[in-house]
Amino acid sequence: MMDHGILLRIKPLFEEHLKGAGYALVDMRFYRRQGGEAVLEVLADRDEGGISLDECAGLNRELGDILEKESVFAQPYVLEVSSPGLDRPLATAGDFRRVRGRQARFFLKDLVGGKLEHCGTVEDVSDDTVTIRVTDKTGERAITISLANINKAKQAVGPANKRDR
């Protein structure tokens, strides 16, 4: 059975390989499907976002070779490499830099501008803040949000929330 220790062993190997190939490791998890089949799921993306199906297939082969070389698994397993998609959570300054110029939705821990939820265009990012441009009934303005105050954030798909217009 695979445990957290093995994930910790695999993660730096995958991160190094992906970084060298121009990608980033977004997430990795291990689970068993009904019937007991072991699955190692890897989410990878380009730093600027956007990875093709062919790229995922190539990375699947490359990461599988790493697992075989390192003799990580004694049991049969399935390796799945895929894109995190548009619903990829935004958490780090790098994540927000990747979506600069695009709409993002923020769910905050503490009020900013009297609200816990904002949707706006990501304008500027520092190591510990993100500035977005929102338009609401009071007009257009910039709001700066501390990364530490973000409970959840993701790229917005479709029109901005009507409450922010």
Domains of the chain, earliest start first: 4-82 (3.30.300.70), 93-164 (2.30.30.180)
Alpha carbons 132 and 143: distance in angstroms, whole number: 5
Sign of CA dihedral 23, 81, 92, 48: positive
Average pLDDT over residues 127-137: 93
What is the percent of the chain where pLDDT is above 70?
Answer: 92
**Which residues make beta-bridge pairs with 156?**
none
Average pLDDT over residues 89-101: 87
pLDDT over 70 (residue 163)? no
Which burial class, exposed, middle or buried, applies to 9 when counting CB atoms under 10 A from its CB (0-12, 13-18, 19+)? Answer: exposed
Tokens of 154: 């993701």
Among 143, 146, 118, CA closest to 132: 143
**Which residues make beta-bridge pairs with 133?**
121, 142
pTM above 0.85, yes or no: no
Q: What pLDDT does 15 receive?
A: 95
Q: What pLDDT does 162 receive?
A: 44
Q: Residue 116 half-sphere exposure, CB side, CA atoms within 13 Å?
A: 5
Backbone angles phi, psi at 34, to 5 degrees: -55, 130
Average pLDDT over residues 8-24: 93
Cβ atoms of 17 and 10 within 8 Å: the answer is no
Amino acid identity at 146: S
User: Would you say how long the chain is, in residues?
Assistant: 165
Alpha carbons 165 and 109: distance in angstroms, whole number: 22
DSSP state of 89: B
Q: What pLDDT does 104 receive?
A: 93
Sign of CA dihedral 159, 89, 95, 45: negative
Among 109, 118, 116, 96, CA closest to 49: 96
Of the spans 7-21, 33-47, 73-87, which averages the highest pLDDT? 7-21
